[in-house]
Structure 1
């Protein structure tokens, strides 16, 4: 059984519709795939319909954007939570609103130096999508400022850029608590991805574990080998689930579906732990 538990559609920062992601998963030989758009479950219904037709088992999920008190970005994957849970829903709505105002501020700064407008960005956003820097990057590509989304993130949109604006995001331990309260299974996404920016120290790991963290995504292209070794020790010490995933974004990133996989017994345990919603079997 081939299982990939981290993918994105154009409901967040992927480039393909949820149904197209399921079709790509089938073409890649996957048996089980999780749709984990940033701070949104809007793609679940389309993905479920397509998955059923294609013979793919769908794990409904979401990737919750978080930030520590000292400003380190953390992403927590939530599997099988209840999307109507009031606590989690309220926090996600707050984050989504903050993303919009942040994006508007960034575009205003960028427009002083580049031919980009808010309308240019809106043209890159699918209906109901969680807006973010990738949409600004796509707008910069569309108006000819940069050749690719990756080039935009490597330069103009880096966190060290004068155009960068931070946005509200919950503390990762709070997010873990809310996911658990919603019947979900929280897994720390690409925890040691140092090429993306600063990574958290042991204190944050332990705060998240104490809050109910279920697992860590170890087999991910952005985790260096030294980081993976650390995570394996941490997982063994605290009985955490170990997952592997692609973090697929369509053409938005080079990540390939199925390039990292999760063991069937780990998937079975996630299904046992998740009580907010169910796996949608082919």
Structure 2
């Protein structure tokens, strides 16, 4: 069974609507897909209806933006109650911070001789609940200033570049608390990616495990074979589920094809066990994974 637990739709910074994303996952031979848009639950209903039509499994969640030691890190929140007031408020504050920095980014780009308008950025996504750097990057591509998203980030938008602007994001320990309180399972996303590899040490991940971390994303495009081996051993030592996923963004990341990395069935079962336990402790009514018999 091919289980890909991390993907994005046009409800955040992916390029495909949830229904199209599900159809593409089915065509790619994915048996279970995780929809984890940035800081929003908006696409869940559309994705569920599409999964039922396509006959593939669906696990809903969100990728929550965090900051630790001044660096951006991400937490995958699987199967939380989407109506939990504290989690909803946290995600809204993150989205508001993302929206507020776009005009500042445009000012800094203007100082570099690049003319983009808010309308240029908004045109890149009619469905996203907030506009972020990927949408600015897409606008730069559309206007001919960059060849693709990665080029735009490398030249202007990444941390340390001239148009980078920081924004609010909670700490990962706080997010773990919020997700668990909402009955979900928190999983650290791509912890050894470019932005987070220096800050998310083994010791820090151990501390997060003590706070209730349920798993860690091991098999990911940003991780070398050696890093994946190290993370798998760390996950075993800390009794964390070891996940694998594509982190698919549609045309936004052309080297993250659906199903390029997947999660072992046993590790998937461990994740679902953690989510069920969190739901029972919290007393929340949480979404169940959609797992048709064919999967």
TM-score range, shorter chain: over 0.9
SS at match of 1:212: coil
SS at match of 1:153: helix
User: 1:277/1:218 Cα in 2 relative to 1: closer, same or farther (>3 Å)?
Assistant: same
Q: Distance in 1 between matches of 2:141 and 2:163?
A: 16
Q: Distance in 2 between matches of 1:177 and 1:61?
A: 16
Q: Distance in 1 between matches of 2:197 and 2:131?
A: 21
Match of 1:140 in 2: 140
Match of 2:109 in 1: 110
Answer yes or no: is the 8 Å Cα contact 1:79–1:184 preserved in 2.
Answer: yes
Alpha-carbon shift at residue 262 of structure 1 (Å):
0.5
Match of 2:283 in 1: none
Answer yes or no: is the 8 Å Cα contact 1:193–1:223 preserved in 2.
Answer: yes
SS at match of 1:111: helix
Match of 2:290 in 1: 280
Alpha-carbon shift at residue 94 of structure 1 (Å):
0.7
Alpha-carbon shift at residue 125 of structure 1 (Å):
2.1
Answer yes or no: is the 8 Å Cα contact 2:140–2:152 preserved in 1.
Answer: yes
Kindly indicate whether residue 226 of structure 2 is the aligned counterpart of residue 226 of structure 1: yes
SS at match of 1:11: coil
Match of 1:263 in 2: 264
Q: Distance in 2 between matches of 1:80 and 1:272?
A: 11
SS at match of 2:180: helix
SS at match of 2:262: coil
Q: Which runs of 5+ in 1 are unaligned?
A: none
SS at match of 2:156: coil
Q: Distance in 2 between matches of 1:196 and 1:208?
A: 14
SS at match of 2:50: helix
SS at match of 1:125: coil
Match of 1:73 in 2: 72
Q: Distance in 2 between matches of 1:225 and 1:266?
A: 19
SS at match of 1:60: strand
SS at match of 1:7: coil
Alpha-carbon shift at residue 223 of structure 1 (Å):
1.1
1:112-151 residue CA offsets vs partner (Å, 9 max, x unmatched)? 3202111111111223433210000011111111121121
Q: Distance in 2 between matches of 1:61 and 1:130?
A: 17
User: 1:207/1:196 Cα in 2 relative to 1: closer, same or farther (>3 Å)?
Assistant: closer
Write the mapping of 1:23-102 to structure 2, written as runs, cut at 5 A: 23-68=23-68, 70-102=69-101
1:189-229 residue CA offsets vs partner (Å, 9 max, x unmatched)? 11111377744223421331121001111011101233223
Q: Distance in 1 between matches of 2:272 and 2:225?
A: 28
Q: Distance in 2 between matches of 1:207 and 1:88?
A: 21
Count of aligned pairs: 281
Answer yes or no: is the 8 Å Cα contact 1:194–1:223 preserved in 2.
Answer: no
SS at match of 1:135: helix
Q: Distance in 2 between matches of 1:95 and 1:89?
A: 10
Alpha-carbon shift at residue 82 of structure 1 (Å):
0.5
TM-score, normalised with respect to structure 2: 0.91
Match of 1:156 in 2: 156
Answer yes or no: is the 8 Å Cα contact 1:59–1:80 preserved in 2.
Answer: yes
Q: Which runs of 5+ in 2 are unaligned?
A: 280-285
